[in-house]
Amino acid sequence: MGFLELKAEQQRFEVGGVGVGGQPGARPTVLIGSIFYHGHKVTLDEGRGEFLREEAAELIRGQEDYSRRTGNPCMLDVVGATPEAIRRHLELAASVTEMPLLIDGTTVEVRLAGLRYVAEAGLAGRAVYNSIQPETSDEELAAVREAGVESAIVLTYYLKDFTAQGRVTAVKEILPRARAAGIRKLLVDTCVMDRATLGQAFGAIAEIKDELGLVAGAGAHNAVAMWRGLKTTMGPQAYTPCVAAAAAASAAVGADFVLYGPVEDAKHVFPAVAMIDKALSQLAGEKGLR
């Protein structure tokens, strides 16, 4: 099975005007940067959600700029540590950009506060809940439905079987519950925790797309972020090429989207992934794909 010769029909949908999913080589990879994560330089007070507004806005606009340059669509992963913070962070992001926004709270309580905010602000159509997994409660899924949010990240963190195949099983387990909750637009995150699991995530992307046709990708940046000793043994200059390589490798195995980490790394990641997308488009053309 080649990743350009997938058996299942490939799902494709739009969130907030951004198309994601489909046949590798026939569509650009969607790139998702994170903002207001723990320790982010634009954050002044994580608990109260205080931050440097213009600096944060400039980072968001920077991702949009590289999206325009490369043609790779983008979304923004908005992180919050408290209910107050997630509301303020989402409010700023929504005022700066029209791209889809991921609600990424550090706890269920925070994510639910994010859901309430997007419902009140009329942003449910471009919100992506980040995330649900097999252990997600019925109450949390009900809150997603009540907010009118139809898109969510499905994190394939499956303690019963933490292999590539186990990640496929995790998707099958959560799929009926997600659909029952009105979540029609699923982005399957194949769960990268370190360098070793990056390979498992790559295998799961291929299997999920081939067997189920679902939109699949990975948080490739985690492989670099959790690499202890990278900067001390390889030098501080090693971080940037590794981040770009992890994202580009994800695209090379057919990922529909990549969570690439800090939004300020857009300048490194977008060109690398765009290069891979261009290479795959040529191969897809030779196989008769547009």
Q: Coil, helix or strand for 201?
A: helix
What value does the mean pLDDT take over residues 63-77? 98
Domain that residue 134 falls in = 27-286
User: Is the confidence at residue 50, as pLDDT, over 70?
Assistant: yes
| Per-residue model confidence as pLDDT tens digits over 9-34 | 999 999 999 999 999 999 999 999 99
CA-to-CA dists, residue 54 to 43, 94, 106, angstroms: 12, 14, 24
Domain membership of residue 20 (yes or no) is no
Mean per-residue pLDDT for 206-214?
Answer: 97
> What is the tens place of the pLDDT at every residue in 147-180?
999 999 999 988 788 899 999 999 999 999 999 9
Q: Looking at the domain assignment, is residue 4 inside a domain?
A: no
Is residue 49 included in any domain, yes or no?
yes
Q: Render pLDDT for 100-159 as a digit per residue (tens, 0 to 9).
A: 999 999 999 999 999 999 999 999 999 999 999 999 999 999 999 999 999 999 999 887
Q: Is 265 inside a domain boundary?
A: yes
User: What local confidence, expressed as pLDDT, does residue 160 receive?
Assistant: 80
Neighbours of 71 (CB within 10 A): 11
The pLDDT of residue 2: 55
Cα–Cα nearest to 258, from 102, 98, 26: 102
* Range 47-58 average pLDDT: 98
- What's the pLDDT at 231? 95
pLDDT digits 0-9 by tens, 76-100:
999 999 999 999 999 999 999 999 9
Q: How large is the average pLDDT for residues 197-225?
A: 97
Confidence of residue 37 (pLDDT cuts 50, 70, 90): very high
CATH number, domain of 33, equals: 3.20.20.20
Does the structure show a pLDDT above 60 at 3? no
Q: How confident is the model at residue 211 (pLDDT cuts 50, 70, 90)?
A: very high
Mean pLDDT on 43-48:
98
The pTM score is: 0.97
Number of domains observed in the structure of the chain: 1
Query: What's residue 1's pLDDT?
Result: 42
Query: Is residue 13 in some structural domain?
Result: no
Residue 15 maps to a domain: no
The answer to whether residue 10 sits within a structural domain is no
The first and second tokens of residue 242, run together, are 């590794």
pLDDT, tens digit (0-9, with 9 covering 90-100), for 229-284: 999 999 999 999 999 999 999 999 999 999 999 999 999 999 999 999 999 999 98
Region of 122 on the Ramachandran plot (φ > 0 left; ψ -120 to 50 alpha; else beta):
left
**Mean pLDDT (whole number) for 209-220:** 97
Residue 8 within any structural domain of the chain: no
Cα first-last separation, the chain: 20
Interior angle at CA 266, CA 82 and CA 42, nearest 5: 35
